[in-house]
């Protein structure tokens, strides 16, 4: 159960919550894995959602039983990111997921603070391309956090910048690592997607459209 009346700030995950970019991360990782001789599955991909680029590569190398030097890892990360950037080059407002824009508008109208809490180092470019950057009162992304989800740092920093106690914050997340991070931060959390991948969420919705009338 969510207590909507207590919410003073909403912290949005980016990939898979606001914008339909999760598929492009999947395609880029699958291409990299394939070059390494590893067949990357959708089940593998689910474990990378919300996880930083560096940690994602470590997981893939581990699953593939491969060891690489630091230089080789850096080259692989650059390659994956270049492919990902090529895939999102044409990103535009049409790639916003259902209900995202309506929810951002509604929260702004109601005076509820809005923050980004994303693991991505590409987050700002994505917010610009999709035309929603102006809605955010705080932007916390992979360039400013040290510790990846499920560590709560990304959401605690968001609450701190907004000046709002975690208990009054609501997180919207599509990844298990993000649900765990929100709970560790002491915040309410709504999972976006399929319930079986979002254990511990206070509520799971298929998309953000169903939340617009709650505020
Ligand atoms: P980048 P989120 C996460 O974004 C993605 O879910 C995850 O798949 C990706 O590896 C991570 O960002 C890092 O992204 O390579 O662009 O820095 O879901 O936390 O918004
Ligand atoms: Mg996500």
User: Which residue is catalytic, options 15, 44, 141, 180?
Assistant: 15
Q: What percent of the chain has pLDDT over 90?
A: 97
Q: What percent of the chain has pLDDT over 70?
A: 100
Domain of 172: which CATH number?
Answer: 3.40.50.1000
Q: Is 13 a catalytic residue?
A: yes
Both 109 and 86 in one domain: the answer is: no
Q: Which of 90, 116, 138 is the last residue of a domain?
A: 90
Q: Is the dihedral of CA 200, 203, 205, 208 positive or negative?
A: negative
What is the reported pTM?
Answer: 0.94
Q: Are residues 12 and 82 in the same domain?
A: no
Ligand 1 atom index nearest CA of 48: 8
Cα–Cα nearest to 15, from 160, 119, 156: 119
> Which pLDDT does position 197 carry in this prediction?
87
Higher pLDDT, 75 or 196: 75
pLDDT digits (tens, 9 = 90+) for 46-71: 999 989 999 999 999 999 999 999 99
Which atom from ligand 1 is nearest to the alpha carbon of 173? 18
**Looking at the structure, do residues 136 and 203 belong to the same domain, yes or no?**
yes
pLDDT at 1: 87
Question: Mean of the pLDDT values across residues 195-212?
Answer: 96
**What's the pLDDT tens digit per position in 142-200?**
999 999 999 999 999 999 999 999 999 999 999 999 999 999 999 999 999 999 889 99
Same domain, 170 and 102: yes
What is the enclosing helix (H) or strand (E) of 183? helix 176-184
């Amino acid at each position: 159960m969510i207590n909507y009346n207590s919410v003073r700030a909403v912290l949005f995950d980016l990939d898979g919550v606001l914008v339909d970019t999760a598929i492009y991360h999947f395609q880029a990782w699958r291409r990299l894995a394939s070059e390494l001789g590893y067949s990357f599955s959708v089940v593998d991909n689910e474990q990378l959602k919300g996880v930083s680029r560096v940690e994602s590569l470590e997981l893939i190398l581990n699953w593939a039983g491969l060891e690489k030097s630091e230089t080789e890892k850096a080259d692989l990360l650059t390659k994956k990111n270049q492919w990902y950037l090529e895939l999102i080059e044409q990103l535009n407002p049409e790639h916003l997921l259902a209900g995202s824009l309506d929810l951002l508008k509604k929260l702004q109208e109601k005076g509820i603070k809005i923050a980004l809490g994303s693991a991505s180092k590409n987050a700002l470019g994505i917010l610009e391309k999709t035309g929603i950057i102006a809605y955010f009162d705080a932007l916390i992304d992979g360039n400013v956090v040290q510790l990846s989800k499920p560590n709560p740092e990304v959401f605690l920093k968001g609450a701190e910048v907004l000046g709002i106690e975690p208990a009054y914050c609501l997180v919207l997340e599509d990844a298990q690592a993000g649900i765990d991070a929100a709970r560790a931060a002491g915040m309410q959390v709504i999972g976006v997607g399929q319930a079986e991948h979002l254990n511990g969420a206070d509520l799971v919705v298929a998309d953000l459209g169903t939340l617009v009338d709650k505020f």
